[in-house]
Amino acid sequence: MAEVVLKNVSKVYPNGVRAVNNINLHIKDKEFLVLVGPSGCGKSTILRMIAGLEEVSSGEIYIGERLVNNVPPKDRNIAMVFQNYALYPHMTVRQNLAFGLKLHKHPPEVIEERIKKTAEILGIFDLLDRKPRALSGGQRQRAALGRAIVRQPLVFLFDEPLSNLDAKFRVQMRAEIKKLHQQLKTTMIYVTHDQVEAMTMGERIAVIKAGTIQQISTPAFLYHNPVNKFVAGFIGSPSMNFFEGRVVEEKDKLYFQGEGIVLEVARMHTDKLRKVKGKDLILGIRPENIHLAQQAISSASSEVKGCIVRARLEIIEMMGAVTYLSFTLGGVNFNARVESSEMEGKENRPRIGEEIDLVFNSEKCHYFEKESEQAIL
């Protein structure tokens, strides 16, 4: 059991690329922390520095109480799981699991016992005597997980372990890794570019852009309180919609005026927005907070406080329980997400090419400064 602490850690590669820029990170004992961000943002570099596979240019890394900057990877008591499994092809799964333990000179009975326990946890008894080429992608990834588990490390490091699996199996493995975390109660650090993976797996998520941490928090907090436009747009699928505009005041009421839209600012936001009156702003609203006006008005349970916006429906995507609608308004594209039942069997159901009245839930709007892209708090 161990916490992992990064203090002012930077990484500049020999070619001059500053991959990681002065990050501070405190991963708690037994925590499942996800590092998420677009390709090239530096998340693998962070993980590889924790593993000792990449030297730190400046700053300090602690595993447990121990400063590990100069400790070789094999002595850091970590286990890493990669996207490409990295199993030895000429060895059976059993031999793959035993390999690291033999290197560390564990006695045979300990090795046998640990393999047995690990096979139990992962349900891979029947795979132990197969070689990797006789395994499916998912089975290989389970074997790779097994090789990490037998080591009983202080910290597990995962580098995009599910990227090679097909969509259905990815969902299953996601759940299995989470279950594993609950069972083993070991600190886990998990790198992915996939925000859905981050949201479903992480106890906390660190969102990274261009080598810096933008925000660290629980999935729900990040979703509801993004500190800037990048986090707002990165977390959530389909992404948050953005509109440029300004706040104006008329007869004691504040309005956001943007490209084709005028929204009355919800009372809960007026204090903070009065301070940035006239400045260039960006309004953000998630697809699920845009409703069909027809529905919002007729539904008895509707308590949606909002403003009517009229936009042209361009695309309808039926996803099952929900339907995604794409609209254009004054040259801006945006998406709404509605219950599919709202689209079914009604004479006046929305049709492609029509101008449709929508309700923007003004209480759910986010506001950012255009220049700095920071949330207005």
Which residues of this chain interact with ligand ADP, rule CB under 6 A? 13, 15, 17, 19, 37, 39-45
Nearest approach, Cβ of 123 to ligand ADP (angstroms)? 31
Nearest approach, Cβ of 50 to ligand ADP (angstroms)? 12
Distances from the Cα of 113 to the Cα of 100, 105, 283, angstroms = 14, 15, 58
| Residue type at 87 in one-letter notation | L
Which of 40/330 has CB closer to ligand ADP?
Answer: 40
Which of 235/375 has CB closer to ligand ADP?
Answer: 235
- Residues in a beta bridge with 294: none
Which of 56/292 has CB closer to ligand ADP?
Answer: 56
Nearest approach, Cβ of 43 to ligand ADP (angstroms)? 4
Nearest approach, Cβ of 209 to ligand ADP (angstroms)? 10
Q: Which two tokens stand for residue 108?
A: 């045979």
Which of 37/287 has CB closer to ligand ADP?
Answer: 37
Which of 54/342 has CB closer to ligand ADP?
Answer: 54
Rounded to an integer, what distance in angstroms lies between the CA atom of residue 274 and that of residue 287? 26
Nearest approach, Cβ of 38 to ligand ADP (angstroms)? 7
Rounded to an integer, what distance in angstroms lies between the CA atom of residue 349 and that of residue 15? 58
Which of 194/357 has CB closer to ligand ADP?
Answer: 194
Rounded to an integer, what distance in angstroms lies between the CA atom of residue 344 and that of residue 324? 13
Nearest approach, Cβ of 55 to ligand ADP (angstroms)? 11
Nearest approach, Cβ of 233 to ligand ADP (angstroms)? 17
Which of 47/254 has CB closer to ligand ADP?
Answer: 47
Q: What residue is closest to ligand ADP based on CB?
A: 44
Rounded to an integer, what distance in angstroms lies between the CA atom of residue 4 and that of residue 34? 13
Phi, psi at 69, each rounded to 5°: -45, -40
Rounded to an integer, what distance in angstroms lies between the CA atom of residue 298 and that of residue 111? 66
Rounded to an integer, what distance in angstroms lies between the CA atom of residue 208 and that of residue 325? 29
